[in-house]
Amino acid sequence: MTRINLLRPRLPSRQSAQRLRLAGVGAALGLALLLSLSASLWAGAAGRLAAGALARVEEQRAREARHVAEWQALKAETRALEARAALLAQVERAAVRFAPLSGRIWAAAPPGCSVKQLILAPTGELIVKGEAESHREVADFVDRLRTVPGVERMEVEASSRTTGSGRVAFSLRGAMGGGAQ
């Protein structure tokens, strides 16, 4: 006897299997599309947030850059003031040392000889400028200065008669010695 199966076969046909595969692939593609769309939206929002944060950081940096420039200018000005204060302290110390010596130099000038300028260089070099009636008075002044405590190696640097007054203008050069204190 021959049997005939009138029921549907349990094995899917090729077309059914292909439809199932296409449906699975379609679902996977839909899910991938949905995930990529949400990721691109998230990336766009994150990019906008990052751009805003970057703009705020750049504004803060610009404000701080102005403060840094101001701080550097103040620092340079402070250094200049400190250097000036140090120089003033040196001037005060030199004035204390130089005041008694300058009085002795003025007192050593012979009659007819006048001191116009006393210069003390930072190196301790002493320059005396003035006028006298004659070259002999300049030589007497140099001799007297050599005996003043605190004056060393006093010599005539220049001495010449001026045309207007007929007096002798002189410049003497020496050094401030240890006895000047």
Give the CATH number, domain containing residue 148: 3.30.1360.100
- Domain of 167 in residue numbering reads as 95-180
Q: Judge whether 130 lies within some domain.
A: yes
Q: Judge whether 175 lies within some domain.
A: yes
Q: Judge whether 90 lies within some domain.
A: no
Q: What single-letter DSSP state applies at residue 35?
A: H
Instruction: Give the sheet arrangement for strand 151-161, strand by strand.
Output: 113-120, 125-132, 168-176, 151-161
**Global pTM?**
0.50
Q: Judge whether 135 lies within some domain.
A: yes
Contacts of 148 (CB under 8 A, 6+ apart): 101, 104, 105, 108
Q: Judge whether 64 lies within some domain.
A: no
Q: Is the dihedral of CA 99, 101, 107, 112 positive or negative?
A: negative
Q: Judge whether 36 lies within some domain.
A: no
Q: Judge whether 74 lies within some domain.
A: no
Q: Judge whether 77 lies within some domain.
A: no
Question: What pLDDT tens digit does each residue of the chain (181 aa) get?
Answer: 788 877 766 666 777 778 888 889 999 999 999 999 999 999 999 999 999 999 999 999 988 888 888 999 999 999 999 999 888 887 777 677 778 888 888 899 999 899 999 988 878 899 999 999 999 999 999 999 999 998 999 999 999 988 788 899 999 999 987 655 4
Confidence (pLDDT) at 128: 94
The SS3 of residue 140 is helix
| DSSP states along 90-139 | HHHHHHHHHHHHHHHHHHHPPTTEEEEEEEE-TTSEEEEEEEESSHHHHH
Domain count, the chain: 1
Per the DSSP assignment, residues forming a β-bridge with 113 are: 132
Number of Cβ atoms within 10 Å of the Cβ of 121: 11
Measured CA to CA in angstroms, residue 148 lies from 96, 104, 106, 119, 142 at distances of 17, 7, 11, 16, 10
Confidence (pLDDT) at 179: 54
Confidence (pLDDT) at 90: 76
Confidence (pLDDT) at 181: 45
Confidence (pLDDT) at 113: 93
